[in-house]
Amino acid sequence: MSDERRYLQELIIAELGVPASFDADTEIERRIEFLADQLRRSRATAYVLGISGGVDSGTAGRLCQLAVERVRAEGGQATFVAMRLPYGVQVDEADAQRSLDFIKPDETLVVDVKPATDAMVESVRHAGLGDREDFHVGNIKARQRMISQYVVAGARGGLVVGTDHAAEAVMGFYTKYGDGACDLTPLSGLTKRRVRAIGSRLGASDELTGKVPTADLETNTPGLPDEVALGVTYEEIDDFLEGREVSEQAAATIIAAHRRTAHKRAMPLAV
């Protein structure tokens, strides 16, 4: 990697808070305590999180469940509400159910985001969605999921949990104010392989931790692997974020995505 790219790599690692070393048990304890502490401080009484069947929500969901159990053991009031948010019938629904079996949430709610998404598409179609309609509809799905989680959080005095981590943050690979909208992020600073390691250590099956990551947003390409959409592998993104050497091409792709999506990691532009 060129000197300039190495320099940018270090800035990005610092910005996203990726530590040089990693110990799964230490990180699990730190993150459960963070979640428990935010409940104690905010006096919120619930955590709310969408469970897709992917490793990020499976891992974050289990951390939430362990945190609310810790708060309850101290005499506090706290519940974890897992939300299934399919768009109609989800092709990998069985994975989502396996994820719920692993998390063992206090409560599971199911909200189908299809009717609201389709109604919104119908209402805005006359504005012209252009030739990337499926892509734009994907972002509507992500935002409908955000709306349903905030409704439940509002009704239960709860907080919405996000699954953003360093490998997703660096690429800006999320929908702004969709799955990017949340009250706290218990996976922040983690690379994808570290999320998997935490999930594994918590007892998730290899099926869940090894599942191919997918945003699964576009109706015409269900389960499209993130790596196809990103043009770089998570191995390369993780190596980059853990300070290792990656190919010039991978470094260029990551640095360009980071720059292009800076607005997603910042507060709205203000005068």
Ligand X SMILES: Nc1ncnc2c1ncn2[C@@H]1O[C@H](COP(=O)(O)OP(=O)(O)OP(=O)(O)O)[C@@H](O)[C@H]1O
Residues near ligand DND (CB under 6 A) are 138-139, 142, 173-176, 178-179, 215, 217, 226, 229, 263, 269
Tell the smallest beta-carbon distance from residue 266 to ligand DND (Å): 8
Binds Mg ion (CB under 5 A): choice among 52, 90, 163, 253: 52
Q: Walk across the sheet containing 158-160 and list its strands.
A: 107-110, 79-84, 46-50, 158-160
Residue 148 assigned to a binding site: no
The sign of the dihedral angle between the CA atoms of 49, 161, 139, 96 is negative
Residue 51 contact partner, candidates ligand DND, ligand X, Mg ion, none, CB within 5 to 8 A by sort of partner? ligand X
Q: Which stretch binds Mg ion (CB under 5 A): 20-28, 33-41, 130-138, 208-216?
A: 208-216
Q: Given 168, 226, 238, 239, which residue is catalytic?
A: 168
54 contacts ligand X (rule: CB under 6 A): yes
Residue 54 assigned to a binding site: yes
Residue 263 contact partner, candidates Mg ion, ligand X, ligand DND, none, CB within 5 to 8 A by sort of partner? ligand DND
Nearest-angstrom CA–CA distance, 150 and 187: 19
Tell the smallest beta-carbon distance from residue 213 to ligand X (Å): 3
> Active site includes 168?
yes
Residue 52 assigned to a binding site: yes
Instruction: Give start and end residues of each alpha helix (H) in the chain.
Output: 3-16, 24-42, 55-73, 93-103, 114-125, 133-156, 166-171, 192-201, 206-209, 226-230, 234-241, 248-260
Please count the other Cβ atoms lying within 10 Å of the Cβ belonging to residue 77.
Answer: 13
Q: Is the CB of residue 73 less than 8 Å from the CB of residue 117?
A: no
Residue 53 assigned to a binding site: yes
> Active site includes 56?
yes
229 HSE (CA, 13 A, CB side): 19
Q: Given 56, 95, 164, 236, which residue is catalytic?
A: 56
Binds ligand X (CB under 6 A): choice among 65, 90, 144, 191: 90
Nearest to 104 by CA among 69, 128, 132: 69
Report which secondary-structure segment, H or E, holds 109. Answer: strand 107-110
Binds ligand X (CB under 6 A): choice among 70, 143, 166, 179: 179
Q: Is 76 or 225 the residue whose CB approaches ligand X more closely? A: 225
Name the residue whose CB lies closest to ligand X: 54
Tell the smallest beta-carbon distance from residue 195 to ligand X (Å): 8
Q: Is the CB of residue 210 less than 8 Å from the CB of residue 125?
A: no
Catalytic (active-site) positions: 56, 168
